[in-house]
Structure 1
Amino acid sequence: MLKLAAIDLGSNSFHLLLANHQAGQLQVVAKQGEKVQLAAGLDEDGMLSEEAMERALNCLAQFAPFIDGIEADHLRVVGTNALRAAHNSEELIERAEALLGHPIEIIAGREEARLIYLGAAHALADVHGKRLIVDIGGGSTEFIIGEQFEPQLLESLHMGCVAYTKAFFQDGEISEKRMRRAELAARSELASIQRTYREMGWDDPVGSSGTIKAAANVLEAHGWAPHGVVTREGLHKLRAALLEFKRLDKVSLPGLKSDRATVFPAGIAILCGVFEALGLEQMRYSDGALREGVLFDLIGRNTPEDSRLSAIESLQRRYGIDTRHASNVRDTALQLFDQVAGDWALGATSRQLLSWAADLHEVGQAISHSQFHRHGAYLLEHSDLLGFSRPEQRALAFLVRAHRRKFPKNELAALPEPQQPRLARLARLLRMAVMLNHSRSEAPVLGMHLSAEGDDLTLNLTEEYRDHSLINDDLSQESELQKAAGMTLTLADS
């Protein structure tokens, strides 16, 4: 039995979910949630206020005892739109990581959409046909079309109940004009995906998240819709009821929790825009969402079902990477890794990262051979790589950037300080593997021996390669490049 945990640092709410995984099933052990409204703490310059950070840290202090003792590989803490948008998110992340004793991963919008779909799909009955999943968050809204557990279209749009409350109801007034402006803003955001989504179509429209759950509860409480369903007619009645309150602080409806009341009108405006843009008549609610998706994704990690493997293979196909050569570089790099992993305290996560970097080290050649290591780093840092968090992508991009030419000390210094020693060591291993396979032979170069004493490396080639002039010349140059970066690589004579 595995004990798993997910923490979702949303723009409106933070959620903790603990579950046991046994015999292919998740058994929920504990759930915690709190309205932190992190997005409300973003100022016009995109900076999180100290008050918002304190709300976040106070919430995480309540979560911390629940995750005590859970293995690192069985726990993920993910941040969404507000942390993506905040220019000073690193400050909050550092403080939160110190409190939790675990890294926090900011995930891209489409990765958030993928995880939401995974959580919702597992919570729903196995309906044949396509599903549309809509998740209205505090800072973004995700749209996914998929079938069974496979998403086919993924999008994350910049509209959410907290962000729209700030934009359209900031002084607390609710009016027809303000509601309509918010709805039109949502329609405008949806214009970029409306045609593509409607052309693909769906059989089963489903909503997840607090806004849609609250809407379904209120409609049921008034007898305006069946249990767990939002209808177009019921939504129009709910919209009219909200306008009667005139102010956010007066909103009070059966089925609506008081801590959601002030952001509820903005959420309903977005939902009305979604119904209009996508031509919906009704939508049922699903309990599964991001945090459930994180747990199901954890179960599949480091298995053949790991979504990151599909992302790597997709990039190799899209950019025409020479997979035979990449495989040779990978085999050499992993042999070097295994010889120094103990001395350098490098674990399985580092080995996997090095493997992926070898697979993708030539991705930038699709743009230009000149400076292709720089092009490759840009592609990897800024692409939507499903399954990867932003810190993972940034680390992967650095390794590809560092695999040739002058060692990029400035780029290394720009990474989070705790990661720098590990990534510098992985970059050195990748560089040597690339050098050893420079001739692009049919088989990987294997059989050498690498030893580490601190950060000083000594490489001893087998007799087969000891007199290979190209390899020796390349390694001599690499030794000089590492020396210029303050590192030692010694080539043994025998």
Structure 2
Amino acid sequence: MTNIITPPHKRVAVMDLGTNTFHLLIAEGGQASYKSLVHQHIGVKLGEGGINKGLIQPDAYKRGMDTMHDFHRQIVAQDVTAVRAIATSAMRNAGNGKDFIRDVEQSTGIKIEVINGDSEAEFIYKGIKAAGCLTLSNSLILDIGGGSVEFIVGNIDSIFYKHSFEIGAARLMDKFHQTDPIPADAVNELNKHLETHLTELFNSISDLRIEQLIGSSGTFETLAEVIELDKGHPFDIEKTQKYNFNYDDLVAVTDRLVNSTHAQRAGHEGIIPIRVDMIVVASLITRFVMDKLGIKNVVMSTSSLKEGVLADMLNQR
């Protein structure tokens, strides 16, 4: 008789397949306390050259497939017992997104779930909540992706508002950031674009008192790292779960990034290659929301969608 050995802990893999970055998180344990075994992010740039045309371009398609094959090898090597691969804006809207999903399943066996904007926002909320960033007061969670931006208003008990807007950094860069540094008239046009597309947001939350803005991973990790490194402080994002911004520091760094050249950003050790260009429009989105709502208390959380999916998986016994 063959002995069946049950792993001492549930071991799961979560893939967050975003417009800019594909993330792989392999962890084991329980929802309240888990151990991260693999935490990887690859700058796939799935939306490059086609984000506003509704197609994944051939080079981006190949980068995506190569990354999924690599993720599959790691999942097999780690003896994972459950897998979820979540796709968001780029694959939702790409005419050949279904082809990509089919090719991944045929070559790796991984079934990609394409979720809608509401589900995306729900998972982001769960990730932020699991990280312990929410209180009894209302927070506005802001998650800036390449294809979409999620806005969630809630506290530790409830969500009061959630919506996904197709105004992600890759889309805005394609429309407005063609010259570097970004010209003042392009900044004005981008702000007008945000004003038009976020009217529903501001109308819906006008009666809610919001105490803080929680920036979910990505952009906000970069902003925190640039601020700390410029002060001469060591900063390890892998060991940082939460960061409280000083308002003046945040205003200064976003101003500087918006007025910087590509070479200046690329030469900063705190800005990873995938964010060198998109950090400009992401900074503009952040400042627009802060100024519009008069928010000065801003927090960064390294947790986001994948941690929300992970919390669900580890909680399923």
SS of aligned partner of 2:48:
helix
Counterparts of 1:249 and 1:88, CA distance in 2? 34
**What pairs up with 1:89-238 in 2 under 5 angstroms?**
89-125=97-133, 127-148=135-156, 150-223=158-231, 228-238=243-253
Larger Rg over CA atoms:
1
* Mapped contact 2:30–2:315 kept (Cα < 8 A): no
* Mapped contact 2:181–2:259 kept (Cα < 8 A): no
TM norm structure 2: 0.86
- Going from structure 1 to structure 2, the CA distance change for 1:151 and 1:100 (only over 3 Å counts) comes to farther
Q: Who is 1:289 aligned against?
A: 304
Structure 1: 4+ residue segments shifted above 6 A: none
Q: Deviations over 1:41-76 (max 9, x none)?
A: 4265412111110111111122112222433xx211
- Going from structure 1 to structure 2, the CA distance change for 1:196 and 1:257 (only over 3 Å counts) comes to same
Question: How much is the aligned-residue C-alpha RMSD, in angstroms?
Answer: 2.5
Counterpart of 2:288, as a letter, is G
Aligned with residue 17 of structure 2, among 9, 16, 26: 9
Counterpart of 1:199, as a letter, is D
- Whether 1:70 and 2:93 are equivalent positions in the alignment is no
Counterparts of 2:247 and 2:185, CA distance in 1? 20
Larger relative helix fraction: 1
Q: Deviations over 1:173-230 (max 9, x none)?
A: 5222222322332232222111322412233321112111111222233349xx9234
TM-aligned CA deviation for residue 250 of structure 1? 4.3
Counterparts of 1:269 and 1:23, CA distance in 2? 35
TM-aligned CA deviation for residue 263 of structure 1? 1.3
Count of aligned residue pairs for this structure pair = 299
Q: Who is 2:280 aligned against?
A: 265
Counterparts of 1:300 and 1:77, CA distance in 2? 17
TM-aligned CA deviation for residue 249 of structure 1? 4.6
Q: Relative CO higher for 1 or 2, CA cutoff 8 Å, sep ≥ 6?
A: 2
Counterparts of 1:143 and 1:188, CA distance in 2? 16
* Mapped contact 1:160–1:270 kept (Cα < 8 A): no
Counterparts of 2:181 and 2:56, CA distance in 1? 25
Ranges in structure 1 where 5+ consecutive residues have no aligned partner: 304-494
**What pairs up with 1:347-386 in 2 under 5 angstroms?**
none
Ranges in structure 2 where 5+ consecutive residues have no aligned partner: 1-8, 233-241
- Going from structure 1 to structure 2, the CA distance change for 1:152 and 1:58 (only over 3 Å counts) comes to same
* Mapped contact 2:149–2:167 kept (Cα < 8 A): yes
* Mapped contact 2:30–2:314 kept (Cα < 8 A): no
- Going from structure 1 to structure 2, the CA distance change for 1:214 and 1:44 (only over 3 Å counts) comes to closer
TM-aligned CA deviation for residue 125 of structure 1? 4.8
Counterparts of 2:315 and 2:30, CA distance in 1? 14
Counterpart of 2:60, as a letter, is A
Counterparts of 1:56 and 1:257, CA distance in 2? 19
- Going from structure 1 to structure 2, the CA distance change for 1:299 and 1:151 (only over 3 Å counts) comes to farther
TM norm structure 1: 0.56
Report the more deviating stretch, 133-142 or 253-262: 253-262
Aligned with residue 80 of structure 1, among 74, 88, 113: 88
Counterparts of 2:188 and 2:262, CA distance in 1? 16
* Mapped contact 2:143–2:149 kept (Cα < 8 A): yes
